[in-house]
């Protein structure tokens, strides 16, 4: 067990769930090796979990068969967008060669579950690149990969709606949307490219989210439904 090395990257759990291993660390009190991982790279608020290396490398019995708890997915690569988010959170992604074909479409996607239209707008923008890759992957492979049929249809609707809005109601923000959420520039890099301070870019982004939230609410009202979580 001690000799087995755990690499940063995607792993598939025995139940089919894909996770991302960030790094390994030692417990300061016991010296036990632990694995640091996240169940989703693209959630608005990313959660991190730890598990002992012994447990991570362990085995489980499924339908009477013994199998590894986690299997490394070497064909799945960390996207530039995800690596950028690591940098912004003070973490470091794996160092590897660049690949011409993005592979982040393999992570699990679920329709945003939010309580306000502002949060929904924020989730759509920040998840745009990943959502588009997910959609393109499913269409290309002609099957649902890491997404349910219901969520795929919701994703398709949201992508079409967002693309239309950027050309119409949100055309004043089209350039910002393209650079930040289509190309994947961080706020810091966008600010540098346009000689702006961080506060000015944050303000512009809030205006975009607010404007998008308005048209999202109008869409739901026109359709006689709500895509928000029910109030408690």
Mean pLDDT of 174-197: 92
- pLDDT higher at 220 or 1: 220
Do 132 and 77 fall into the same domain? no
pLDDT band at 100 (very low <50, low <70, confident <90, very high): very low
Could you tell me the residue range of the domain that residue 115 belongs to? 109-223
CB neighbour list of residue 120: distance below 8 Å, 6 or more residues apart: 112, 114, 213, 216, 227, 228
The share of the chain scoring above pLDDT 70, in percent, equals 81
Do 216 and 183 fall into the same domain? yes
* In the predicted structure, residue 77 carries a pLDDT above the cut 70: no
* In the predicted structure, residue 95 carries a pLDDT above the cut 60: no
Q: 189 in a domain, yes or no?
A: yes
- pLDDT higher at 122 or 111: 122
Would you state the pLDDT for residue 96? Answer: 47
* In the predicted structure, residue 139 carries a pLDDT above the cut 80: yes
The share of the chain scoring above pLDDT 90, in percent, equals 50
Q: What is the pLDDT of residues 56-69, one digit of tens each?
A: 999 999 888 899 99
- Which ranges constitute the DSSP H helices of 27-171? 53-56, 80-88, 117-126, 128-141, 149-167
Please count the structural domains in the chain: 2
């Amino acid at each position: 067990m001690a000799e087995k090395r755990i690499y940063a990257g995607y792993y598939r759990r025995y139940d089919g769930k894909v996770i991302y291993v960030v790094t390994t660390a030692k417990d300061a009190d016991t010296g036990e090796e632990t694995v640091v991982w996240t169940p989703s790279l693209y959630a608005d608020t990313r959660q991190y979990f730890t598990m002992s290396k012994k447990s991570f490398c362990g085995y489980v019995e499924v339908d009477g068969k013994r199998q590894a708890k986690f299997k490394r997915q070497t064909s799945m690569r960390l996207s530039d967008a995800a690596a950028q988010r690591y940098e912004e959170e003070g973490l470091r992604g794996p160092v590897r060669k660049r690949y011409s074909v993005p592979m982040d479409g393999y992570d699990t996607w679920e329709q945003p579950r939010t309580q306000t239209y502002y949060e929904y707008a924020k989730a759509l923008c920040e998840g745009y690149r990943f959502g588009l890759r997910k959609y393109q992957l499913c269409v290309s492979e002609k099957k649902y990969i890491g997404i349910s049929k219901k969520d795929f249809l919701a994703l398709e609707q949201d992508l079409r709606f967002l693309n239309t809005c950027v050309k119409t109601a949100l055309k004043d923000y089209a350039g910002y949307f393209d650079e930040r959420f289509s190309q994947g520039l961080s706020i810091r890099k966008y600010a540098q490219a346009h000689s702006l301070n961080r506060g000015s870019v944050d303000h512009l982004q809030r205006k975009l989210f607010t404007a998008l939230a308005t048209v999202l609410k109008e869409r739901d009202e026109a359709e006689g439904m709500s895509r928000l979580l029910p109030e408690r």
